[in-house]
Structure 1
Amino acid sequence: MRWLHSKILLAFAVALSAAPAFSQSANFGKLTLSPGFPATAGQASGNTGGTYSLSSIANSDRNNKPCIGYGSENPDHIMVLQSKFSKLSVEVNSGKDTTLVIRGPNNLILCGDDTKTSKGVSKDASVEASNLPPGEYRMWVGAMKEGQRWNYSLTVRQ
């Protein structure tokens, strides 16, 4: 009986270690936001890097935008929306070619790549979304090629 118990515990430990990226903690912390949040509450920073294909989280988002790039298996940031948001934008600023994948409640997927700006197109990623339900959103900031490591700032705006 003791042998069976130890085998069950071992199998459970192996299953936990193989848990998908969605269940792991964030590399660079958590943003907790309520409507009307101050600008500083929507700011974070981190760095890209990794060999995990972000398309393995999802091939495309709810708007059929492709989810691309490479990053860490762990999400880079966790954003908790304490209530519904009618509109939010999430922008990456690195001066490099970045991507963005966001996985929210009920398997809501948002993906971003190049951003249109008043001066043309930036290679940095962004996502604009509306009607976001409250809950936890896991965010991965990626690079176009495996292992590219760039510092970035992340800004969430209403």
Structure 2
Amino acid sequence: MRNVAAIAAITTMVISISHIQLAHSQPANLTLSPQFSPNPLELRGKGGGSEAVSEIVRQATTPTGPCTGFASATPNHTVTLKAFFKGLSVEVESPQDTALAIRGPGGVWCNDDFQGKNPGVSGQWLAGKYEIWISTYAKNQIAPYVLRLSEQ
């Protein structure tokens, strides 16, 4: 009976650890067209990791802010825009201080404090594929977040 309990406990631990790693490392892919619904669109995830964001995107700063913090080498989300967006806002909300990095057709955009301690980037967006990383300030720290995309 003891062995069964031990095996059950170990199995539960392995499943829990696997779930955490999958939730952190698998990107959520999304395709958007203008006038998407619901607006805003919200995606949830866990940001952070062991790689310096400036190394991932190969830039230390952008016109929208610094490329700072640590994230997984794999983007948290990949968003494909089917057409030009005249006004699109990408914002992160988290109980922890996070940063944002986006790499797409027009270059790289990073941000630290768009709304308080929450990062975001807003403006015109070309059609194409955008890779999005949500980072934390401490290496290997994990932060839950809501990524909010809204069309203005």
User: How far apart are 1:150 and its partner, in Å?
Assistant: 1.4
Q: Give the corresponding residue for 1:30.
A: 29
Gaps of 5+ in 1: 1-25, 117-121
Look up the match of 2:54: 55
State the 1:40 CA deviation: 6.0
**Identity rate, percent:** 34
1:129 and 1:146 mapped to 2: Cα distance?
Answer: 30
Normalising by structure 2, report the TM-score.
0.76
Change (3 A) 1:128 1:64: closer
Cα distance between partner residues in 2 of 1:71 and 1:83: 28
User: Does structure 1 conserve the Cα–Cα contact (< 8 Å) formed by 2:64 and 2:121?
Assistant: no
Q: Which residue of structure 2 lines up, in the alignment, with residue 67 of structure 1?
A: 67
Number of aligned residue pairs: 125
- Paired with 2:49 and 2:118, the residues of 1 have a C-alpha distance of 17
| Ranges of 4+ aligned residues in structure 1 off by more than 4 Å | none
Of 108, 117, 133 in structure 2, the residue corresponding to residue 123 of structure 1 is: 117
Q: CA RMSD in A?
A: 1.7
Q: CA deviation at 1:129?
A: 2.2
Aligned partner of residue 55 in structure 1, secondary structure: helix
After TM superposition, the score normalised by the length of structure 1 is 0.73
List aligned pairs for 1:3-152, cutoff 5 A.
27-39=26-38, 42-56=41-55, 57=57, 58-61=59-62, 63=63, 65-106=65-106, 108-116=107-115, 122-130=116-124, 132-152=125-145
Give the Å deviation of 1:103.
0.1
Provide the C-alpha distance between the structure 1 equivalents of 2:135 and 2:49, rounded to a whole number of angstroms.
8
CA distance in 1, matches of 2:86, 2:39: 20
CA distance in 1, matches of 2:118, 2:40: 21
- Gap regions ≥5 residues in structure 2: 1-24
Question: Structure 1 94/28 Cα, relative in aligned 2: closer, same or farther at 3 Å?
Answer: same
